[in-house]
Amino acid sequence: MRTRLTELLNIKYPILQGAMAWVSEANLAAAVSNAGGAGIIATGGRNLTWVKEQIDLARSLTDKPFGVNVVLMDRNKEEIIDLLCEEKVSFVTLGAGNPVPYFEKLKKAGIKVIPVVPSIRLAKRVEDNGADALIIEGMEAGGHIGKITTLSLMTQVIPEVKIPVVAAGGFADGRGLAAALVMGASGIQMGTRFYASKECIAHINAKNAIVNAQDTDTVITGYMSDHLIRGIKNKMTDKYIQLEKENAPYEELHNLRVGTSRKAPIDGDADWGLVQAGQSLSVIKSIETCEDIINDIIKGAREAINNLKP
């Protein structure tokens, strides 16, 4: 399945694996790349030594292209970007800040630059400044989210830019990929579906929370602080939302949520940790290999597209 994204990144299928904190590391990224997509190592909250180790490990596990995500609010972002330039990774995705100042350095190193943008205005800005592609992520996604849906972003952003667009947020099966392609996207980015994969290092409790979840089981915390995070409803989210309704002090809310992104996938505490997952949960019925996940999605997308024919 060839698209402008597969041609840009030299991959077989137009599927990126989302950058998930404490989840997206070398084993998962390499497995996705080996299966024909493009894996991504998430550097958020990680130190330079860890990032270098993960790049080396990924290269020992795959000879296919993979990328690295940089969180631009992290204090060590400059050092990480310098490392990525030295390592000459295939591509870099950037979010949670202004990516433009880093384009020149990354592109001089021969690295494809793919920023995450939330609006038409920023999409045009990164295109004008040399981005190779861009990612639009709707609020259906897991983890940190904005306030616009994936469908609305595709409807409004895709016609306004000429570079390839990757749609993210709520994708978990082949029909979603087909829909994105019909809308004009060049591919999709998925996180939650790969979270529940055999190669993912996350604790089995966190994976099972995804597999066992119903369609209405995600909630958003952080409305009061305008710091929205989507995850699976549990004891922690119930307590957090209750405190928000009671106008609890920011410090109390912060202390309740801090460290929860690690507590679920690493420690296995799916009650008081946060399993950051998107809204498309009911189609995730089992923990599969990344190869089986991608093959099923490509098969489903082709069937959906063929069903459109008269």
Verdict on whether the full-model pTM lies above 0.85: yes
- Per residue in 263-295, pLDDT (tens digit) is 999 999 999 999 999 999 999 999 999 999 999
As given in the structure block, the two tokens for residue 229 are 């995070």
Flag whether pLDDT at 166 surpasses 90.
yes
Of the given ranges (167-181, 199-213, 242-256), which has the lowest mean pLDDT?
A: 242-256
Q: Where are the domains of the chain?
A: 4-201+284-307
- Per residue in 294-307, pLDDT (tens digit) is 999 999 999 999 98
Confidence class for position 96, pLDDT limits 50, 70, 90:
confident
Confidence class for position 180, pLDDT limits 50, 70, 90:
very high
Provide the total of helices (H) and of strands (E) in the chain, helices listed first: 14, 11
* DSSP of 114-162: EEEESSHHHHHHHHHTT-S-EEEE-TTSSEE--SS-HHHHHHHHGGG-S
Cβ pair 20, 191 in contact under 8 A = yes
Confidence class for position 223, pLDDT limits 50, 70, 90:
confident
Question: pLDDT at position 250, please?
Answer: 85
Instruction: Tell which residue, 204, 216, 225, 193, has the closest CA to residue 297.
Output: 193
- Per residue in 135-164, pLDDT (tens digit) is 999 999 999 998 999 999 999 999 999 999
Question: pLDDT at position 45, please?
Answer: 85
Cβ pair 176, 192 in contact under 8 A = no
Give the class (CATH, top level) of 4-201+284-307: alpha beta
Instruction: Tell which residue, 14, 69, 8, 11, has the closest CA to residue 184.
Output: 14
DSSP state of 197: B
